[in-house]
Amino acid sequence: MSIYDLLPTLTTFRSALDIALVFIIVYVVLKLLRGTRAVPTVVGMVLLALLYWLSVAQELATLEFVLQSAAFYIGVAIIVLFQSEIRQALIYFGNRLQFPVFRRNGSGLGETIYDEIVLAATTLASSKTGALIVIERAVGLRNFIDAGVQLDARVSYDLIVTLFNPSTPLHDGAVIIRNERIAAASCFLPLTKNPSISRELGTRHRAGIGITEGSDAISVVVSEETGLITFVENGNVRRNVDPNKLRDLLLKSMNLSPKEEEQREPKAIKEHDAEISVG
């Protein structure tokens, strides 16, 4: 069999691969745009494209000239209007196309670090003290860290609880954890622009969601109104999680598979729950 006999097969395979790749890209883009403010804008652009096709088909010279001249500015407008969506899409593709050699293993956070975070969130929830804890992963959060109050301190239960105490000057804003260290406190984050977010969620929750939409960070939010703990990853909200579930979600999100003994409730949390029940 010569190479010429294989050409039709290769051409068919190439065409199928071409269609499959286009389908995947369109599917992912539509999935990212679903439920965002970009949907009505895309619809408007489709209507403009149909209007341009109509002007060409019906030989409407003036309308065709106006739309053709505006094509360049429409391209610039797309970048300006959809900058957050474009950034989110690039992060989405980048996280899934990373080679294992370049992956970071869970930011190096140890088991005790998770216990400190879970215990602090549980304590803050029991007293209905608002809190927002953000954990950096592969995408750096240096811009937000530099804008906050830089600490570079070891992650500990006492420090986290103290930082979110309403009587302290650093309680307003988020705490960002980077490489087993509290990099900064009182950090102000971008709010989510997703219109489908429940109106019950306030500014703290919207900031916790927004930072996970623009990066691959994860956030833990404690509500000061209800005392509920919320876990957010990739814009997906998990509300009213208990300490055990929160720890499992943290381990899973950092690509660490918990051992059987790690799945049991940490001793510190058990003692804390006992103190609450006695009190």
Query: What would the 3-class secondary structure string for 118-176 be?
Result: HHHHHHHHHCCCCEEEEECCCCCCHHHHHHCEEEEEECCHHHHHHHCCCCCCCCCCEEE
Helix (H) or strand (E) holding 84: helix 83-97
Between residues 119 and 88, the one the model is more confident about: 119
Please give the order of strands across the beta sheet that includes 236-238. 149-154, 181-187, 174-178, 131-135, 218-222, 229-233, 236-238
The model scores a pTM over 0.85 = no
Give the pLDDT band (50/70/90) at residue 272.
very low
Residue whose pair of structure tokens reads 């300490």 in the numeric block = 243
Lowest mean pLDDT among 23-27, 168-172, 197-201: 23-27
Q: Where in the chain is the domain with CATH 3.40.1700.10?
A: 106-278
Lowest mean pLDDT among 8-22, 62-76, 102-116: 102-116
CB 220 within 8 A of CB 229: yes
Of 211, 175, 173, 174, the closest CA to residue 192 belongs to: 211
Question: What integer pLDDT is reported at residue 220 of this predicted model?
Answer: 95
Architecture category of domain 106-278 in CATH: 3-Layer(aba) Sandwich (3.40)
Helix (H) or strand (E) holding 216: none
39: tokens are 């949907």
